[in-house]
Every structure is written in structure tokens, then in C-alpha cells.
Chain A
Amino acid sequence: MREPPLPPLLDARQRAGLGIFLAAALILVPALHLVFPPGHVLHVSTYTVTLLGKIMCYAIVAVAMDLIWGYGGILSLGHGLFFALGGYAFGMYLMRQIGRDGSYRSELPDFMVFLDWKDLPWYWAGSEHFLWAAALSIAAPALAAFVFGYFAFRSRIKGVYFSIITQALTYAAMLLFFRNETGFGGNNGFTDFKRVLGYPITSPETRLALFGVTAGALALSFLFVRWLVNSKYGRVLTAIRDAESRAMFIGYDPLWFKLFAWTVSATLCGVAGALYVPQVGIINPSEMSVANSIEIAVWVAVGGRGTLIGPIAGAFAVNLAKSWFTVSFPEYWLFFLGLLFIVVTLRLPRGLAGLWRAPRRKDAPPEAEP
């Protein structure tokens, strides 16, 4: 039997869009930030660069979430865990880069001196090497996701059961990281970074370099996930999402299809976390809080599940709204976010992307609910 041809990775319009995005992120923003002095109309402030960089990290997480929820039909309420694991793994390297410039002038990170520890714990071994930390920020979330996913998918836990177990997972991890004895700085986490790869972390050049790397990572994640969901693998994954029993009877084992998507998704989150920490300058256990993980789901829901552009747009829209609200009307942010959850699920099941496409599909039958 001949397989139907796969669609092209990007059509002409999408290629143009990607080009514009990369040009803006790699050339326009750096130029505006460096060339124009602060106060100039065209100057892009440090605050804006950091904010956009942070939101691009969130957008990577949104793409990862869309892979597992939009295409796999698995709603994770624990993706904050994988994000934070990546962040902590890279944060270990940043803590070691502080060297003797901490407030205790010790080789050990300040919080360990404070706890009166004499040596680094074993899992900090090698964290002074950039490559090891980078590898760890990918491997740690991937391993955690693989082990948890294997047991969860093997016993065919799905739907809301799976969601609330992932929620409990990130909650338990948050409690664990809050402990000082865990060796990750307890309540305060990691902060006061000085250098990355030897460059001062707050200098404009370092900031812009991190910004560019994040933009590249976002573009690559988008392309990779798009390639993945358009491939035969992606089609089987979607089939399992829509009718798991039927796909199983045809002969596909859902375990490995789901597990692969789940692990890839967690890995992308880890990458996003590793890029987030040097830009924001802090990582602490509250990144693993239950509320943070659910917020990821709302970015994807606002943007539109099952499209890859949608979640990226959703991450930008919701987070820009958040930073505007928390400055202007902090007491109304939760009302707005709560309403957003309700309105999007009630009125916009396909999100902003659905709104965009709705006129063209007016006469089409309503899509089956994943």
C-alpha cells in the first residue's frame, strides 16, 4: 500500500513569516537596543529585551505542551516540573560560575556555606563544565519524563486521571526542592548569577546573545515539532489521540508513541528552562507550583491546540497581558486569568487560531472533540 505524501514542512507564507521572525529577533532588536541610546523613541529597553526573551522561553514550552496536548490528547498539569528541572540543571553551572565572588568568598555556592556544608553533593559533580550542565538540562527532564511516563502510560492512565497525577508529581517535586537538604538552595533557589561562559551575565552583549540563542531555539523547536507531527509518527499519534482503542486494535502500541511525544515534550521544556534562567536571573521552586503548570495549558488553549503557531501566539498574548496587568492592576490579574480560562474553553475551543480560520470553514462540520 502506498502511503499518502506528507505535506511540505512550510509553505511559502510560513517560510516568509519565519524569516521575518528570525530577522527581527537576530538583527532588529539587537540593533535597536544597542544603536539607540536609552530614552530614544526607537530604543528597545533592557526590560523589553528580558521580557521578550522570557516570553520566547515560554513559547518553547507552549510548543512542547501543544505536541503532547494538541496532538497527543494528553493534558499535562506538570510541565512546570520539566521546565524547572532544565532551569536548575543549568542554574548549577551558573552558580559555579560565580566562583569566589559570592558574599562568603567561597568556592561553594552561598547557600551551601550558609548550611555549613563542606563539599559539593555528588550530583553537583561536573556542574562547572558548561557542556555537562547543558547536557544535564536536557537529560534530567527527559529521564524524569521517561520514567514517570513509562509507568503512567503502561497502566493506561489517561484523561483527567493522568492530568491530576502529573499535578501531584510537580507538587511533590516542589515540596522536595523547597527543602534546604535537597541541595538546590531551598526556598530561594539559585540567584545572583555573575557570569555565563566567562562573560558578565548582565552586559547588553550577553543579554542579546542569549536573546538570539532563545529565538533560534524557538524556531528550531517549532520546525522540529512541525516535522514530527507531519510525519507518519505524528499521524499515528493523532490517531491514538482520537481513538486509542481502535489504533491499538490495528496494531500500534500506544505506549511507545505516547511516551516518545511525552519525553520530547519534556526535553523541550528543559531547554526552555535552561535558556530562561540566565535571562531572568533566578530559579526557585515556585516554578514548579501547580498554578504555573496550569498557566502553560492556558497559553496553548488561548492560542489554539493542534496548531503550532497558535500556542506561540497564545504564550505571547497571555504573558504580555500578565506583565501589563501586574504593573497596572495587580488585583485584577487573577480575575482576568480566571475569566480567560472560562471564556476560552466555553467560547473559543480552537483558540485564537480558530478565530483566524473560522470564516473559511463556516460550512464545515464541527470538528470531533479530541
Chain B
Amino acid sequence: MMPVADFYSSSLKVPMLKSLLAVSSFVCALAAHAAPDAALVRRLADADSGVKVAAIRELARTPGPDVLRLLEAMSEGRLALAGGAVLIVDGGSAFDAATGAAVKAPENAEAVTVNNRIRGELGNALAALGLFDPDPAVRLASARKLQGKAAAGMEAVLSSALARESDPRIKDLLALTRAQAHLSSADPAVRRAAVRALSGSSSPAVRGLLLPLTGKDGEADARVRQAAISAVKSIDGRLALTENLGRAFSGLSLGSILLLGALGLAVIYGVMGVINMAHGELLMIGAYSAYAMQTVFRNHFPEAIDWYLPAAIPLAFFSAAATGALMERTVIRWLYGRALETLLATWGLSLILIQAARALFGAQNVEVANPGWMSGGVEILPNLLLPWNRVIIIGFALCVLLLMWALMNRTRLGMFVRAVTQNRAMAGCVGVPTARVDTLAFALGAGVAGLGGLALSQISNVGPDMGQSYIVDAFMVVVLGGVGQLAGAVWAALGLGVVTKLLEGWSGAVIAKIVVLAFIIVFIQKRPQGLFALKGRFAD
């Protein structure tokens, strides 16, 4: 057995108990309940564990502040037996457990033994009592705690809690828990009704509870078994659904990163007809910008470290855009009309950028931490937790997309870019400064890639080679989506992201990649110009 003092300190670490302690004084102030039955209280100190358990269950049926205080004291090991009376020991003073009257702390008090079985029972009982707490958060926590381990004998407490409950979420949870308690009922009809009620759950804990009932060893009644089998099946179906929803969601976030990479690629390809093989390295520059800004904040503004990421947005955009403009001016400009050679030249640029990153930041991956406000997640269904960093990335990609759309459709530069995409010679003839548009479009595409890298730094490793693993996927987005229109890139990126993630769950990452590639090759048989081809005459 654990020493009394030791158990006392460890039990305080349980947050549930802390909150119970905090509210117990509030509960005391409410109208007085009948004091617990003295004979019942005496049984708490019985030598036999079975008697103790029965007494705890019995007490939990009559919720009230005295019972709460009593059971808390017991779970903290402060219950003592002295001369036939059960006492609550509190520091130097002692109270009679049944009446609450202060008594003199006896010399020969013997601590009431609390073993693991009793401790579990007490936890359940305290949670059941928590169901009557005025604070809905405590009630919710208590209901969650009981879920999946409610035992027989708690139906009455659960029913009365259910009758008093007004919060629909807690109500649902309680109804489920009550059905769980019914599972150990002696009456097969009650068990069957409970199984039926539980088949609406989507919790793995409930599934674990029902699973033994599907076999002959766990359940004697054939009809209950049958009901349990179909209940497990329907829970499995719902679990698979949430799992797939989760995958679709991570597909969306992968898709939004692909989108940020592919947007720039598609604009550059549309305007200049060149594939920028160094695009992945522009992502890398964006990711290293996040790292650099994080280092600056750590060294100079450690109190504002959580805000390094917003501060890195302009840095990521402009450093990538400047690199892009430099690449365009020094290399790509001189290769117009030679698309295949531009491919090779930009590959050369990417090698140089990778090696430069190795020289500057080292060949190892660097650590970029999520800011505090991006950790954690929002639970929209049981078992479906959407991590904040992915939610924020999707929102961020959406903002960039909107800005990009506005830029392309509502500004003069956007009009020029569209004009050069459609017909370079004609645009030049009517006075569009094509050379400057090229540089600006390249810088814009590069900057958006930098923003993509910034987003990527929050969910994957940051290292010199990071761009290489995303670039093939980004190319596939461009191939699938066609060029010249944002819509193609958007649908292709999100579609590829979601399909890849769903396939990954079904067949593994490698097969998923191969299947997606095969699909793209088949797809461009039908639509060689991509999803959204530019309408009009093409000559080559």
C-alpha cells in the first residue's frame, strides 16, 4: 500500500480533484443535505474491500456536499478509524465522518486502507458526484471521465444527473454513459437496450466496451450478442468516417501548401513558358526566413517570441521575391524561347541555392518551433482533432489566394500579366512593358513560393533539401491544372492533396504517389492542356 502522505500529494496533482476541492466550499453553502447514514459510513472503514466498494456506491447515490467531502477525504487517505467511529482527519483536527462534528484527534487512529480497486471506485464515485457540480465545465469533465468505465450500480446516479442536466452535449454523454452502466445489468433485455443505445456512439472506448459482448464468453444471450455485433459494426463505420475526414483535412492542408508552391509556378509558366526548377529552393528560402526571424526574436525580443511568425511573413515574401527577380534578370531573361534549356539553367540555380543554404545554415535540418497560439487543436468530433497549425495554414493559403486573385484581376500589373500570358507579341505592340512584367511576375511567383515555405516550416522539417521533395508534386499540380488561370491550380492542388492523403490511408504513401502519377498520365490523355485550358487558338 502507498504511504498515506505520498498518496495525498500525488492525488492533488489530479486536476479533477483540484476543481472539486475548489467548488466543494460552494456546494457547502447550498441548502444542507441530510447527513450520510452513520452505518453506511462505518462500512467505509470495513476490513473487506467488497463491503467498502458497496458502501462507496451506495453513498454516491445520494449526492451532497457531505458525501463529496467524505469521499474526497477517503481518496486522499485522510479517513481514519478510531474506537468504532470513522473520522476525517484534516491536519491536526478531526471530524466525525457521519455527523461532521469536531472531535479530538485520537492517539490510536488507524488510517483506512485505500487500495487500487477502492481508488478506482472512488474516482468513479467522485466523477459521478461531479455531475452535479454547478460549473458545466466540471460536469463535462466528469461525464468524460466516466465514459467507458461506468460500472453497474451507477445507473441511478446517472439517471438523476441526466434529469437535471440542461447542457445538450453533457446530456448526450450522460445518456451514453448510462447505457454503458446498463451493460452489466443482469436482465438481457436491459443489456440489449443498452447495446442499441450505444450503437450510436463514435468513441473507441465504447467500441472496446461492446467488443467482449460479441463473443460467447462475454455474453450468454444470443440476441444481445447479435445486437452487439451490429453495434460494433456501426461504430466501426463511424470511426472510419471520422478517420477519413481527418485524412481529407490533412489533405486539404497539404493541398494548400502545394497551392502556394504551384501558384507561383503556374504564373511564371503562363507568362514566360518556362518551368522554374529552382522553385522548391524558393520555398526553402521562405522556410529559412522563418528560422532567421525566430533566431532574431529569441535573441532580442524573447518576450514576444510567439509573434515571430507574422514578422517573418514580409521577410519570407521579399527575400524569395528578390532572389526570383535576380534569377530572372541574370539567367532566365537570356533564355527566352528556349524552354528546355531554361529547365536546365534553373536546375543549376537550384543546386547553387541548396549548396549556399548548406554553407550558411549547415547541412542539418534546423529547428523551427510552432508559436504557442498554433499548438493544440480544435476538436470538432470525438476522435477528430484539427491541429491549429494546419487550420491556420489553410486560412493563410486562402488569404494569399484572395490577394493573388485581386492582384491578377483588379490591378494594372495583373492585367499586364494576363495580357502577356495570352499573347506576348500583341501585348508588347500595345505598349505593355513585357520585360518589366516578366521580372515582376517572376518576383511575384517567387514571393508566393516564399510564403509557401513559411507555411511549410510549421509542419515539416526545414533543411537545405526540403524544396526537392515538394517540387515534383508542385509540377504535377501545374500539369493537372493547366496554366494561365488560378482556378486550375486551386482545384488541382486541393484535389491532389486530398486524393493523396486518402490513398495514403488506404494503401501507403508510396503506392499513393504512384497511383496519383498514373492517374495524371491517364488524365492528360483526355485533357492535354490541363483541367482549365485557355480557350482560343494555339499555334506552335
Taking a contact as CB atoms under 8 Å apart, the answer to whether A156 and B475 are in contact is: no
Taking a contact as CB atoms under 8 Å apart, the answer to whether B472 and A163 are in contact is: no
A339 touches which of B350, B352, B526 (Cβ 8 Å): B352
Within 8 A of B (CB), among A118-172: 148, 151-152, 154-157, 159-161, 163-165, 167-169, 171-172
Which residues of chain A come closer than 8 Å to B338, judged between CB atoms?
345, 349, 369
Which residues of chain B come closer than 8 Å to A338, judged between CB atoms?
347-352, 355
Q: Is A352 an interface residue (CB 8 A)?
A: no
Taking a contact as CB atoms under 8 Å apart, the answer to whether A169 and B517 are in contact is: yes
Which residues of chain A come closer than 8 Å to B520, judged between CB atoms?
165, 168
Taking a contact as CB atoms under 8 Å apart, the answer to whether B344 and A155 are in contact is: no
Mask, A225-245, CB within 8 Å of B = 1, is 000000000000000000011
Which residues of chain B come closer than 8 Å to A210, judged between CB atoms?
none
Among listed B4-12, B233-241, B329-337, B409-417, interface-contacting one: B329-337
Within 8 A of B (CB), among A331-362: 331, 334-335, 337-342, 344-346, 349
Distance A69 CA – B340 CA, assembled complex (angstroms) = 10
Distance A215 CA – B461 CA, assembled complex (angstroms) = 45
Which residues of chain A come closer than 8 Å to B296, judged between CB atoms?
none
Taking a contact as CB atoms under 8 Å apart, the answer to whether B354 and A334 are in contact is: yes
Taking a contact as CB atoms under 8 Å apart, the answer to whether B351 and A156 are in contact is: no
Within 8 A of A (CB), among B261-301: 269, 273-275, 277
Task: Name the residue on A nearest B508 (C-beta).
Answer: A179
Mask, A50-77, CB within 8 Å of B = 1, is 0000000000000000000100000101
Distance A151 CA – B478 CA, assembled complex (angstroms) = 19
B344 touches which of A175, A334, A341 (Cβ 8 Å): A341
Task: Name the residue on A nearest B273 (C-beta).
Answer: A160
Taking a contact as CB atoms under 8 Å apart, the answer to whether B339 and A160 are in contact is: yes
Taking a contact as CB atoms under 8 Å apart, the answer to whether A349 and B517 are in contact is: no
The verdict on A164 contacting B475 (CB below 8 Å), with A172-B513, A340-B348 known, is yes
Which residues of chain A come closer than 8 Å to B337, judged between CB atoms?
369
Q: Is B528 an interface residue (CB 8 A)?
A: yes
Which residues of chain B come closer than 8 Å to A179, judged between CB atoms?
510
Among listed A11-19, A90-98, A267-275, A294-302, interface-contacting one: A294-302
Q: Is A259 an interface residue (CB 8 A)?
A: no
Which residues of chain A come closer than 8 Å to B350, judged between CB atoms?
338
Q: Is B359 an interface residue (CB 8 A)?
A: yes
Distance A169 CA – B516 CA, assembled complex (angstroms) = 11
A345 touches which of B341, B354, B472, B522 (Cβ 8 Å): B341
User: Interface size (A, Cβ < 8 Å)?
Assistant: 46
Within 8 A of A (CB), among B330-376: 331, 334-335, 337-345, 347-352, 354-355, 358-359
Taking a contact as CB atoms under 8 Å apart, the answer to whether B347 and A341 are in contact is: yes
Taking a contact as CB atoms under 8 Å apart, the answer to whether B349 and A298 are in contact is: no
Distance to closest chain A CB from B42 (angstroms): 63
Distance A155 CA – B339 CA, assembled complex (angstroms) = 20
B345 touches which of A77, A161, A168, A341 (Cβ 8 Å): A341
The verdict on A178 contacting B510 (CB below 8 Å), with A163-B340, A169-B517, A331-B355 known, is yes
Taking a contact as CB atoms under 8 Å apart, the answer to whether B479 and A342 are in contact is: no
Q: Is A176 an interface residue (CB 8 A)?
A: yes
Q: Is B525 an interface residue (CB 8 A)?
A: yes
The verdict on A337 contacting B528 (CB below 8 Å), with A165-B521, A331-B359 known, is no
B540 touches which of A169, A244, A331, A346 (Cβ 8 Å): A244
Which residues of chain A come closer than 8 Å to B326, judged between CB atoms?
none
The verdict on A346 contacting B335 (CB below 8 Å), with A155-B524, A172-B517 known, is yes
Distance A165 CA – B341 CA, assembled complex (angstroms) = 16
Taking a contact as CB atoms under 8 Å apart, the answer to whether B528 and A334 are in contact is: no
Q: Is B62 an interface residue (CB 8 A)?
A: no
Q: Is A290 an interface residue (CB 8 A)?
A: yes
Distance A17 CA – B219 CA, assembled complex (angstroms) = 89
The verdict on A171 contacting B525 (CB below 8 Å), with A160-B343, A165-B479 known, is no
Binding site for A on B (CB under 8 A): 269, 273-275, 277, 331, 334-335, 337-345, 347-352, 354-355, 358-359, 468, 472, 475-476, 478-479, 509-510, 513-514, 517, 520-522, 524-526, 528, 540
Query: Could you jot down 22 A-B contacts, CB within 8 Å?
Result: A77-B343, A151-B522, A151-B525, A155-B528, A156-B528, A160-B269, A164-B476, A164-B479, A165-B524, A167-B475, A168-B472, A168-B517, A168-B520, A169-B517, A179-B510, A290-B468, A334-B352, A341-B344, A341-B348, A345-B338, A345-B345, A346-B345
- Extra A-B contacts (14), CB below 8 Å, given A148-B521, A167-B472, A176-B514: A75-B340, A155-B524, A155-B528, A156-B528, A163-B343, A164-B478, A167-B475, A169-B517, A171-B472, A172-B517, A175-B509, A294-B344, A339-B348, A341-B345
Binding site for B on A (CB under 8 A): 69, 75, 77, 148, 151-152, 154-157, 159-161, 163-165, 167-169, 171-172, 175-176, 178-179, 244-245, 290, 294, 297-298, 301, 331, 334-335, 337-342, 344-346, 349, 369
A-B pairs, top 6 by smallest CB distance, nearest first, are: A341-B348, A338-B351, A338-B352, A334-B355, A338-B348, A345-B341
